[in-house]
Amino acid sequence: MGTGITSPIQTYLEELHARYAPLTDGQVATYSPELARADPAWFGIAIATTDGHLYEVGDTRQAFTIQSISKPITYGIALEDHGVQGVLATVGVEPSGEAFNAISLAPGTGRPLNPMINAGAIATAGLVEGTSSEDRLARLLSVFSAYAGRPLAIDDAVYRSEKATGHRNRAIAHLLRNFDVLSDDPDVALDLYFRQCSILVDCRDLAVMAATLANGGTNPLSGARAVRH
């Protein structure tokens, strides 16, 4: 039976949503044709806490593709597979000071400066272990799903759109192969990167994923462990 008491957090989120929902500044992403189809009126706010509470208001269950928010999760998988020093040999941790999609590689070695720019994220995708492309993708989806606390899937239309138009990322991947940062066919790592960016989530999922990280890798709603160590 409910207590009838509204959390001050919920009240505050509702006030914020009402205050900022009328704003129409900015533009939706257009670097991929499918992303340009997003409705700019979608607006949701969600907060998940490490003790298992969830607060949400607005369009929190509207699905969208995770895009660059996927980068830290895949980086965590690479760390589990290769350890800190193994990953640092491939991707650095220094700020780049450049755009997320800059063709930014360290002089001489070709090592990306950090895993949150596209060059580093593509290299990180190449570190995900598996016996095949299908195996690596299944593992990636399994980990992302554990973070979110529900099965996640890929938006095939967005994946195909990004794969067809991602020429800059394709150039980055081939440069990484030229420097042996990627040791195999660059299209393998690039394809996994396009797929990870095309994973469908909603605002609630992202809140729970962040809470899972803050909770030492254990999903506070499901109790499942998303990070092995």
85 and 196 belong to one structural domain: yes
113 and 187 belong to one structural domain: yes
39 and 96 belong to one structural domain: no
pTM for this prediction:
0.93
Domain that holds residue 54: 8-61+202-214
Residue 3 lies in a domain: no
41 and 138 belong to one structural domain: no
CA distance 202 to 47: 12
Q: Could you give the number of structural domains in the chain? A: 2
Q: What are phi and psi of 21, to 5 degrees?
A: -60, -35
Find how far residue 111's CA is from the centre of its chain: 21
**Cα dihedral sign, 165-167-172-173:** positive
Residue 223 lies in a domain: no
| CATH code, domain carrying 91 | 3.40.710.10
Give the residue ranges of the chain where pLDDT is below 50: 1-2
**214 CB-near residues (< 8 Å, 6+ apart):** 50
Residue 105 lies in a domain: yes
What pLDDT is attached to residue 3? 58
86 and 193 belong to one structural domain: yes
User: At which residue do the structure tokens 């257009």 appear?
Assistant: 30
113 and 132 belong to one structural domain: yes
Tell the burial category of 103 from Cβ atoms under 10 Å away from its Cβ (0-12, 13-18, 19+). middle
112 and 21 belong to one structural domain: no
Q: Count of CB atoms within 10 A of residue 202's CB?
A: 20
